[in-house]
Amino acid sequence: MKQVIENGSAILGIEFGSTRIKAVLIAPDHTPIASGSHEWENDYVNGVWTYSEQAIREGFQACYADLKKNVLDTYGVTLTKLAAIGVSAMMHGYLPFNDRMELLVPFRTWRNTITGEAAEKLTQAFSFNMPQRWSLSHLYQAILKDEPHVKDIAFLTTLAGWAHFWLTGKKVLGIGDASGMMPIDSQTLDFDASMIETFDQLVAEKHYPWKLREILPQVLVAGQDAGSLTPEGALLLDPTGELTPGCPVCPPEGDAGTGMAATNSVRPRTGNVSAGTSIFSMIVLEKPLSKVYPEIDVVTTPTGMPVGMVHCNSCSSDINAWVSLFREFAETMGFQVDTGEIYTRLFRKALEADPAGGGLVSFNYYAGEPVTGLAEGRPMLIRQPDAKMNLANFMRVQLYASMETLKYGMEIMNQEQVAIDQVFGHGGLFKTEGVAQGILAAAIHAPVTVMQTAGEGGAWGIALLAAYEVQKQDGESLEDYLQQHVFAGMKQSTLSPAPEDEQGFDEYMRRFNACLPAQQAAVDGLK
């Protein structure tokens, strides 16, 4: 690997996550050979969740410096040349710039829920579900509030698009990330032209000096030329001046697209479920949904195929709280136990449970869940007087709770007869072999595969997209490239849904749905 690094054959992927910026260096065979990271947190300033420009720039540099140090410590060489670079980031949000590329207002991230009026009006105008976190919802909300900066906008992009501009000077965006700004036409592989026209008509009375198309980035699909690393970009990323400019930089993507690439779920009828603090599913659609569903976002793969996405704010936080309680109990009884072992034993205990959960219902709602129409959440456990309250049923219900809202949304896709051949599960919930994997299969009525991947997540995914740009054969699709060159022969395990688990989870969901008013009452009563 030392020679790979010295001759400039290594490929770099960097992803801005919500709590960590991660860099992964891969060899031409896609194997991770070094990594770096930088921890950061968003700020809550004047009612807005944001990251400062200084934090973004310094975090970018610190992450690369950490990677560079890892290369030097591991291989004894200084990283000076790369074959390709890819940058990705959390999707959505609001980053408007003037004609000098100066940020006009602090970055409004995806986490903000301050665009309800705009999202509702755009959904009606487009006949397309426009979530609050999407960039166009933020722009229209700023227009509805007559914010003075709007007239000065010359460019609107995402965090990945901004970082890509730093490196290349190009105002472009990968189509998957672009699909989180506003709707995409999967036939033209561009922003939906009719919706752009509709938007311009909505704001015509404002007489702004721009039209929407003029301020949006150019949309690119995976593999297209997105520019190269400029001398200024190389110096920004590596202020020591040791990084050589000139290598290609692939189209910048969002974390949804990199998650698809990292799990080989970019073909129609495949999908992935990411389960951590939050949980979301992305299913690549064969055809459009028959109507607009507020529970389902429609984004795209890095090649522009439509994807149905169910995004839920809460997943593992409540399980973590209960595990912490159990650990405290064990320590009170004089036992010192490994936290990882607690998770493993409790998860396996859930396999002994009544498939319907024994009459228990759990809400893991640390935050509101738009999928079930709740603006806020209150974690709660409900049980009938004759419920079978034992450890196995309790843990089965905690795992159901981690997926109940996802299942609520996925049942809509089931009703739409969305074909799903295979779903890939990734994230901490799947560490205990065969437990959460089987429950997810029951939840979505489809086989679930867990792969032995590099574990580098989105940073590895964007590195794969950068590798595709510089290593693909003429006419080779991203789908074929990933299947034949990245994932062929990779160890994986697949579980099909067990009929008794499907029936049990469905029965549990009937109780869950019946208790939704109780969750709302808890929100109303506990302020």
Residue-wise DSSP of 228-277? B--HHHHHHH-TTS-SPP--BBPPPEEHHHHHHHHTT--STTEEEEEESS
Which residue's structure tokens are 């150019």? 218
The dihedral through the CA atoms of 102, 217, 117, 257 has a sign that is negative
Of 342, 355, 375, the residue nearest 522 (C-alpha): 375
User: Strand pairing of 270-275 and 422-426?
Assistant: parallel
Backbone φ, ψ for residue 436 (5° rounding): -60, -30
CA separation for the pair 176, 478 (Å, rounded) = 13
First to last CA, the chain: 56
Q: How many CA atoms lie within 13 A of 56 on its CB side?
A: 22
CB contact at 8 A, 8 and 82: yes
- Whether 514 shows a pLDDT value over 70: the answer reads yes
Kindly give the interhelix angle for 436-444 and 499-525, rounded to the nearest 10 degrees. Answer: 90
Confidence of residue 456 (pLDDT cuts 50, 70, 90): low
Tens of pLDDT, residues 37-57: 999 999 999 999 999 999 999
pLDDT at 159: 98
Bridge partners of residue 24, in order along the sequence: 13, 35
Q: Which residue has the tokens 């310094």?
A: 58
Quick one: average pLDDT of 140-169?
98
Res 172: pLDDT: 98
Q: Is 465 exposed, middle or buried (0-12, 13-18, 19+ CB in 10 A)?
A: buried
Collapsing DSSP states into helix, strand and coil, what is residue 139? helix
Handedness of CA 491, 497, 500, 505 (dihedral sign): positive
Phi, psi (degrees; rounded to nearest 5) at 493: -130, 140
Six-digit token pair at 341? Answer: 């072992």
User: What pLDDT is stored for residue 112 in this prediction?
Assistant: 86
Note the pLDDT of residue 138.
98
Give the mean model confidence (pLDDT) for residues 451-476.
Answer: 87
Alpha-carbon gap, residue 324 to 328, rounded angstroms? 6
**Domains defined along the chain, listed by start:** 1-89+222-259+454-496 (3.30.420.40), 317-408+503-525 (no CATH)
pLDDT, averaged across the chain: 95
From CA 442, how far away is CA 505, in angstroms rounded? Answer: 7
Residues 294-337 pLDDT 10s: 899 999 999 999 999 998 988 999 999 999 999 999 999 999 99
Q: What is the pLDDT of residue 454?
A: 40
SS3 213: helix
For the segment 386-412, the average pLDDT, to the nearest whole number, is 96
Q: Is the pLDDT of residue 117 over 90?
A: yes
The pLDDT-based confidence of 431 (bands split at 50, 70, 90) is: confident
